[in-house]
Structure 1
Amino acid sequence: MEIEIATIGGYEEVGRQMTAVRAGDDIVIFDMGLNLSKVLIHDNLRTEGMHSLDLIDMGAIPDDRVMSDLEGDVQAIVPSHGHLDHIGAISKLAHRYDAPVVATPFTCELVREEIEDEQKFGFDNDIVEMEAGGTMSIGDHGCELEFVNVTHSIVQAINPVLHTPEGAIVYGLDKRMDHTPVIGDPIDMERFREIGREGNGVLCYIEDCTNANKKGRTPSESVAREHLRDVLYSMEEYDGGIIASTFSSHIARVKSIIEFAREIGRQPILLGRSMEQYSGTAKQVGIDFPSDVEMVGYRQSIDQTLERIMNDGKGNFLPVVTGHQGEPRALLTRMARGETPYDLEDGDKVVFSARIIPEPTNEGQRYQAEKLLGMQGARVYDDVHVSGHLRQEGHYEMLDALQPQHIIPAHQDLSGFSGYVDLCESEGYQMGRDLHVTRNGNIIQLV
């Protein structure tokens, strides 16, 4: 059986992931993501009403025209998890393919919400829910799709595996080795080891290289939870304002902030549209999340809530807000610019329970937001966080588990691939033979 892999998006940047695997006449697409930094750099740009070709020209979504060079039919579109750099282009591109979107329940619900906001294209694709550990047939030639549970900075993340007669294709974006997660099950390393040793083994492993230049291993989310507990408990006697910001999609982290806010005697309130969206979706699909926390999503209601906080006393509340990357329209940035009813004063605490996404636009915006917060007297607590991506020791462990015949680095630019290339070469792989560093728009023939 011929096996080809089209590296469509996410092979020259962190963002707009999209990869297609052709096994004979059957094609499976993994991820259809958005490069958010290409959108945020424009003031007040709304993608919902934009045409896909305009977004492709901007570099915001994958240029999927290379799909016309793959001879076969798309059988499934499979997002690995619910981050926008993996699902943000589904509403713009999926309608071109007569195939269902197959994902875990939380990811499916986020995809539905993206589709509801879409103003340009109709969407008739089926949305099929499949749990981690589930399988489904692909085409009529013996291929099967499997979801292997992994741990990441969003709940219900999986690594999809396409089993073919020539061996398994393991799509390894995005994960960390977490054996003590705050929500959900640990990473299923036992299943990865089985896949590496059954049948024809792993034909190809496509791997996320976000932290491949960093030594050691990525800590568990339980480590971030204890760090967060230590930081917030240190503020227990402070009677001024405390604000926290984290990834809205990081349900486990938001849950920890809510719990510790209550333990130090403050009422947590989730503020911001995406904060309301992700946490509301988590409750909707039955994820273990506080059911009684207040969520406010729209600007007018947010400002009214901030007025109430000021009237009742900042010391009684802990707002959990959007804007940890310094996004210009996000709530924390508006607070830093003095554009909300919330008055920042000398000594007020701002906890960033998130790292800066390593991309120049984000780094510049976050720098500006922190400077504005400091000018109002706020004290910044930075990087109360652990990454959702493997460092080098995790990569060694995955290679040992899977023992792939071929490797394709992904989820970085060429400089970001360098650490992973060195790591693979130390394990006996060779550039151009079985280690394929590639770019967007290329097709690699494996069989």
Structure 2
Amino acid sequence: MEIEIATIGGYEEVGRNCTAVRAGDDIVIFDMGLNLSKVLLHDNVETEQMHSLDLIDMGAIPDDRVMSELEGDVQAIVPTHGHLDHIGAIAKLAHRYDAPIVASPFTLELVKGQLEGEQKFGVDNELVEMEAGESMLIGEECELEFVHVTHSIIDAVNPVLHTPEGAIVYGLDKRIDHSPVLEEPFDMERFREIGREGEGVLAYIEDCTNAGRKGRTPSESVARRHLKDAMQSMEDYSGGIVATTFSSHVSRVKSLVEFAREIGRQPVLLGRSMERYSGAAERLGKVDFPGDLGMFGHRKSVDRSFKRIMNEGKGNFLPIVTGHQGEPRAMLTRMGRGETPYEIEEGDKVIFSARVIPEPTNEGQRYQSEQLLRMQGARIYDDIHVSGHLREEGHYKMIETLQPQNIIPAHQNMKGFSPYVDLAKSQGYKLGRDLHVTSNGNRIQLVE
């Protein structure tokens, strides 16, 4: 069977991930993501109202025109998890393909939200829910399987396309977490089995985000202990404490809510995306929040909450807000600019339970946000976080476990690929033979 891989997006940058695998006449597209930094460069860009071609020209979504060169029919569109760099372009591109969108329950719930907000295209692809551990037929000879992985968002999977020539493991994004806060541990046992089954692993497509960092990525339970320690150190402070984290990181939000109660404060979630992700997780029973937890996304509702906090005393509340990357329209950035009723005063604490994404736009915006907060007297508690991506030893572990015949680095630019390339070469892989460093819009023929 011919096996061909089209590297559509995410091979020259962090973001807009998209890869197509053709097995014979059947094609599966993994991820359709957004490059948020490209959107943030432009003021007041509303992607929901824009045409896909304009977004492609901006470099904001994958240029999927290479798909016209693949001889076959798309059988499934498969987002791995609910981060926007993996699902943010589905509303713009999925309607071009007569294929279902197949995802885990929480991811599918977030995809639905993306489709409902779309204002330019009508997307009527069938939505198919599939749990980790389940599989479905692709054409007559292939099978799609979801393997549970742990990441900085719940319900993440690594999809595996089983073909007569061996398995294609799409490895974006994950860390090996044996003690997560809300989910089952990383399913290393299943990866071991896949590495030994049938023809083994024909190709492994892997996220290289932290490949240059030594050691292994700590568990989310480590971040939880770090966060608890930091918040307990503020227990006697009577002024304002504000926390921010990835709104999609429901496990971290859950920890913030719990520890706020422990230090005698009422938590409240503020910001559209904070309400969207935590609300979806609660509806699906993925997280159990207190019944009186407030979640407010609409600007007027948020400002009413801030007025209540100021009236009843900042020392009684913990606002958990959007804006950890310094996004211009996010809640914490507005607070730093003095555009909300919440007044930051000398000595108030701001907890960044997130690391800045290493990309120039984000780094610049985060720096500006922190300086605005410091100018008002805020004390910054930074980097209370663990990454959702593998470090060097995690990557080594996955290569050792899967023993893939071919490796394709992804989710980075050429500079970001280099540490992973060095690691793969140290394990006997050779550039141009079985280690394929590529760029957006290319095709790799694995089996002719």
Task: Work out whether the TM-score is over 0.5.
Answer: yes
Q: What letter is aligned with 1:367? A: Y
- For the Cα contact (< 8 Å) 1:103–1:129, is it kept in 2? yes
The answer to whether the aligner puts 1:372 opposite 2:372 as a matched pair is yes
How far does residue 286 in structure 1 lie from its aligned partner after superposition?
1.1
Distance in structure 2 (CA, Å) of the matches to 1:289 and 1:84: 24
Q: What letter is aligned with 2:23? A: A
Q: 1:336-388: CA deviations, max 9, x gaps? A: 01111111000000000000011100000000000000000000000000000
Q: How does 1:88-103 map to 2 (within 5 A)?
A: 88-103=88-103
Structure 2 counterpart of 1:18 = 18
Distance in structure 1 (CA, Å) of the matches to 2:148 and 2:340: 41
Give TM-score scaled by structure 1 length: 0.99
How far does residue 291 in structure 1 lie from its aligned partner after superposition?
4.2
- Runs (4+) off by over 6 Å: none
Where 2:417 maps in the other structure, the secondary structure is helix
Q: 1:24-68: CA deviations, max 9, x gaps? A: 000000000000111111111100010000000000000000000
Where 2:202 maps in the other structure, the secondary structure is strand
Structure 1 counterpart of 2:240 = 241
Distance in structure 1 (CA, Å) of the matches to 2:249 and 2:66: 33
How far does residue 190 in structure 1 lie from its aligned partner after superposition?
0.5
The answer to whether the aligner puts 1:343 opposite 2:314 as a matched pair is no
The answer to whether the aligner puts 1:333 opposite 2:352 as a matched pair is no
Where 1:341 maps in the other structure, the secondary structure is coil
Distance in structure 1 (CA, Å) of the matches to 2:254 and 2:275: 13
The answer to whether the aligner puts 1:284 opposite 2:283 as a matched pair is yes
Q: What letter is aligned with 2:103? A: A
Structure 1 counterpart of 2:33 = 33
Give 5+ residue unaligned stretches, structure 1: none
Distance in structure 2 (CA, Å) of the matches to 1:110 and 1:324: 20
Structure 1 counterpart of 2:134 = 134
Structure 1 counterpart of 2:70 = 70
- For the Cα contact (< 8 Å) 1:283–1:291, is it kept in 2? no
The answer to whether the aligner puts 1:209 opposite 2:215 as a matched pair is no
Q: What letter is aligned with 2:225? A: E
Where 1:53 maps in the other structure, the secondary structure is helix
Q: How does 1:229-268 map to 2 (within 5 A)?
A: 229-268=228-267
Give TM-score scaled by structure 2 length: 0.99
Q: 1:71-91: CA deviations, max 9, x gaps? A: 000000000000000000000
Residues matched between the structures, number? 446
RMSD: 0.5
Matched-pair identity in %:
76
How far does residue 289 in structure 1 lie from its aligned partner after superposition?
2.6
How far does residue 154 in structure 1 lie from its aligned partner after superposition?
0.2
- For the Cα contact (< 8 Å) 1:79–1:103, is it kept in 2? yes
Where 2:305 maps in the other structure, the secondary structure is helix
Distance in structure 2 (CA, Å) of the matches to 1:291 and 1:9: 40
How far does residue 410 in structure 1 lie from its aligned partner after superposition?
0.2
Q: 1:285-335: CA deviations, max 9, x gaps? A: 111231421101011111111011000000000000000000000010000
Where 1:446 maps in the other structure, the secondary structure is strand
Distance in structure 1 (CA, Å) of the matches to 2:181 and 2:314: 29
- For the Cα contact (< 8 Å) 1:101–1:127, is it kept in 2? yes
Q: What letter is aligned with 2:281? A: A
Distance in structure 2 (CA, Å) of the matches to 1:277 and 1:416: 31
Q: How does 1:386-425 map to 2 (within 5 A)?
A: 386-425=386-425
Q: 1:111-144: CA deviations, max 9, x gaps? A: 000000000001110000000000000012x100
Q: What letter is aligned with 2:274? A: M
Structure 2 counterpart of 1:197 = 196
Distance in structure 2 (CA, Å) of the matches to 1:111 and 1:231: 35
Distance in structure 1 (CA, Å) of the matches to 2:327 and 2:42: 11
The answer to whether the aligner puts 1:303 opposite 2:325 as a matched pair is no
Where 2:295 maps in the other structure, the secondary structure is strand
Distance in structure 1 (CA, Å) of the matches to 2:298 and 2:404: 48
Q: What letter is aligned with 1:188? A: D
Distance in structure 1 (CA, Å) of the matches to 2:90 and 2:331: 27
Distance in structure 2 (CA, Å) of the matches to 1:309 and 1:302: 11
Structure 1 counterpart of 2:151 = 152
Where 2:276 maps in the other structure, the secondary structure is helix
